[in-house]
Amino acid sequence: MRDYSIIALLLTLLAQKPYDPMLTDELFDEYDFIVVGAGTAGAVVASRLSEISEVTVLLLEAGGTDLGNHLVKYPNGYVKVQRTSVNWNYDIVDQKHSFLQMKKPKYPQGKILGGTSSINGMVYLRGSPHDYDSWQDHGAKGWSWKDVEVFFKKVENAFGDKVSDSLGRGGMLNISHGYRSPMFNELIKAGKEIGKFFSKSQSTYIHTVEHIVERCKKILHILKIPQLHYNYMKNCIKEVDYFKETEGISRLVCTYYEGIRQTSSDSFLRPVYEERKDRLHIVTNARVGKVLFDTDENGKVTANGVTYIKNGEEKIVKARKEVILSAGVMETPHILMLSGIGPRNHLKDMMIDVVVDAPGVGSNMEDHLSNAAYFKLKSPQYYGQNKNSMEEYILNGTGALTTVAGIDGVLHYRTKYFGTNVSLSTRKRPFPTIEALFAPAPFTIPFSTQEKPAFHSSVILYLQHPKSRGTVRLNSTNPFDQPIIDPNFLSNPDDVKMHIEGFRQLEKFEMTKTMKETGFRMVVPDVCNGQMNKYPPRSDEFYECYMKSFSHGIHACCTAKMGDRNNEMAVVDERLRVRGVHGLRIADASVMPHITSSNTQAPCYMIGQRASDMIKEDWRLI
């Protein structure tokens, strides 16, 4: 018999909510910098600015402490943590093109130290270099891949021999490969098979995937034709180092280390707060209401502080140099509008005095349209939250439970629409447009189905560059009333066409001998039964029904986007300064000019790092 008393003691200790020594009660009346939101980007900004011993920094966070929250630290606590008070759990408006067959879910965002980095799936992907070059094309001067790569590296501290040597070592955010499931090996085998299967029918002398890759590289090199490149590559699903080559299948790098989630709070605040207590003040449960401005005799408007509510009491704190909004994609536009910066007519309707007419505030919301597809399996050999895995996790910090539901592999590719009007991926900027995250784990299937598989795996499909755009608008002038959020999923019909191609790629996997042997076959919801074919190829109508029933998103961005002065929808300039006022910047997901071809936390870390360097430069602090 094993002695479980140590494990029991550990769990009891983890369940305690201790006093958090990082937090401050006694505040100054004035700080050099006030950062609003201790989330993914905000924690980086506050940490980096407080490196300068001459400046004072106040970090205000609406959520509570993360200390002692074991669901946050435990990677497999992902699903449970979503249902707790550390999630903003926004209502979204009724969607015209999605959730037609099911109750719409809430929209999650982190409300805790670490923000969404404390509740997310921990996948760490930078996106494609073409994403950032396209930001530059859209007026974000100085944000091309060549410019931003160094800021990713400054953030990253990659562990492990097998982790890409393109990742940074020596930054503050620990990242590593996690568990590698047997399923991942099957996927690699299946990917190679897909190459062989298609090449056999196309040519007698191209018979291995390596052969095709070599051929397409040579042809691409000689002719420089991306469409041709795509035509070959679509059939070769090869294993790649994602940080060198963004199309193919790769093993995930995640924000966990030795089995523990690494949040922006753990990485950027906890290691430094003790030695900076005199100049970095962190306050939780402090909800910022609005930014305050001062207008001089020449009409120059400068942000000089914020109001915030703590313990039911409204307070004012002043900023000598700048206010930096890092409150996330929903709350940054919310605060801006409450402060008088937003679309003029909307502010007038809400009886708010207009400080700056900024039509881009709360507009342009982009999100990776996502669908989970479920596949039955013959046996549960790939995963299990059982006594053995629990024991392995608790005693060694290894195994399947170091991940969210065993997710370990990711596939990126363009679709057949590449280079056409349907896709935003162009010959000049050929970024991947579909991402598939493979989880060998039994997520709960959220719909009814006649087939009740005993074991199944899940694939989360993301449309990386949708054309649909959503909005955030005020519901009232009370900061505690959540804004009106309309992601407007699937409102552009091209998104439907593109996403169907994502499912088609999964069909290729289903058709391989390797995956058939595992019993890998899509589980079909009853609501779409009328149009379904049990085996691939299934009809476009079936997939359209599937996505219109269940499409969602969790990577919203761009609600205060960056751009040049010719773009009236641009809210911030290329140094993240809010146009029309002084002393106010934004650093979070809302400033992205467009969404990236990957999950969005890595770009947010990069934005936080880049913002802090810019602020230091502009105030001659470096």
Q: What is the rounded distance in angstroms from the CA atom of residue 415 to the CA atom of residue 432?
A: 8
Per-residue tokens: 409: 């592999």
AA letter at 433: T
Our finding on whether 62 is near ligand FAD (CB under 6 A) is yes
CB of 504 to ligand FAD, least distance (A): 24
- DSSP designation for 582: B
Our finding on whether 597 is near ligand FAD (CB under 6 A) is no
Q: Are 549 and 447 in contact (CB under 8 A)?
A: yes
The two beta strands, 455-463 and 434-439, are: antiparallel
Q: Are 310 and 88 in contact (CB under 8 A)?
A: no
Which listed residue (120, 263, 402, 471) binds ligand FAD by CB under 6 A? 120
Which listed residue (498, 602, 606, 615) binds ligand FAD by CB under 6 A? 602
Residue 286, helix vs strand vs coil: coil
Q: Is the CB of 37 or the CB of 171 nearer to ligand FAD?
A: 37
Which listed residue (482, 601, 609, 612) binds ligand FAD by CB under 6 A? 601
* Segment contacting ligand FAD by CB under 6 A, of 148-156, 218-226, 323-331, 427-435: 323-331
For tokens 């060998």, the residue is 440
* Segment contacting ligand FAD by CB under 6 A, of 277-285, 393-401, 503-511, 597-605: 597-605
Q: Closest-CB residue for ligand FAD?
A: 39
Our finding on whether 109 is near ligand FAD (CB under 6 A) is yes
Q: Is the CB of 40 or the CB of 304 nearer to ligand FAD?
A: 40
Per-residue tokens: 321: 């140099």
Q: Is the CB of 110 or the CB of 248 nearer to ligand FAD?
A: 110
Q: Are 606 and 155 in contact (CB under 8 A)?
A: yes
Total residues at interface with ligand FAD (CB under 6 A): 40
Which listed residue (187, 206, 209, 288) binds ligand FAD by CB under 6 A? 288
| Phi, psi of 522, rounded to the nearest 5 degrees | -65, 135
Our finding on whether 119 is near ligand FAD (CB under 6 A) is yes
How many other CB atoms are there within 10 angstroms of residue 141's CB atom?
A: 15
Our finding on whether 599 is near ligand FAD (CB under 6 A) is yes
CB of 335 to ligand FAD, least distance (A): 6
Our finding on whether 263 is near ligand FAD (CB under 6 A) is no
Our finding on whether 110 is near ligand FAD (CB under 6 A) is yes
Q: What is the rounded distance in angstroms from the CA atom of residue 348 to the CA atom of residue 345?
A: 5
- The residues that bridge with 305 in the sheet, in sequence order, are 292, 318
Our finding on whether 525 is near ligand FAD (CB under 6 A) is no
Per-residue tokens: 288: 């910022």
Q: What is the rounded distance in angstroms from the CA atom of residue 168 to the CA atom of residue 159?
A: 10
Our finding on whether 121 is near ligand FAD (CB under 6 A) is yes
Could you give the residue ranges of the DSSP H alpha helices within 124-172?
Answer: 129-137, 145-155
Our finding on whether 262 is near ligand FAD (CB under 6 A) is no
Our finding on whether 63 is near ligand FAD (CB under 6 A) is yes
Length of the chain, in residues = 622
Residues contacting 358, CB < 8 A, separation 6+: 336, 341, 342, 343, 571, 578, 579, 580
Q: Is the CB of 339 or the CB of 512 nearer to ligand FAD?
A: 339
Q: What is the rounded distance in angstroms from the CA atom of residue 351 to the CA atom of residue 353?
A: 7
Per-residue tokens: 198: 């298609």
Q: At what angle do helices 129-137 and 145-155 cross, to 10 degrees?
A: 130
Q: Is the CB of 328 or the CB of 442 nearer to ligand FAD?
A: 328
Our finding on whether 61 is near ligand FAD (CB under 6 A) is yes
Q: Is the CB of 216 or the CB of 338 nearer to ligand FAD?
A: 338
How many other CB atoms are there within 10 angstroms of residue 46's CB atom?
A: 32
Q: Is the CB of 90 or the CB of 417 nearer to ligand FAD?
A: 90
Our finding on whether 98 is near ligand FAD (CB under 6 A) is no
How many other CB atoms are there within 10 angstroms of residue 272's CB atom?
A: 18
* Segment contacting ligand FAD by CB under 6 A, of 105-113, 201-209, 291-299, 439-447: 105-113
Our finding on whether 60 is near ligand FAD (CB under 6 A) is yes
Q: What is the rounded distance in angstroms from the CA atom of residue 35 to the CA atom of residue 282?
A: 10
Our finding on whether 115 is near ligand FAD (CB under 6 A) is yes
The two beta strands, 313-325 and 584-586, are: parallel
Our finding on whether 592 is near ligand FAD (CB under 6 A) is no
Our finding on whether 290 is near ligand FAD (CB under 6 A) is no
Chain residues 122-151 in contact with ligand FAD, contact rule CB under 6 A: 122-123
- Residues 12-51 as x/- pattern, contact with ligand FAD by CB under 6 A: ------------------------xxxxxxx---------
* Segment contacting ligand FAD by CB under 6 A, of 5-13, 14-22, 117-125, 498-506: 117-125
| Phi, psi of 484, rounded to the nearest 5 degrees | -85, 115
Per-residue tokens: 533: 């074919």
Residue ranges in contact with ligand FAD by CB under 6 A? 36-42, 60-63, 108-111, 115-117, 119-123, 287-288, 326-329, 331, 335, 554-555, 588-589, 599-602, 604
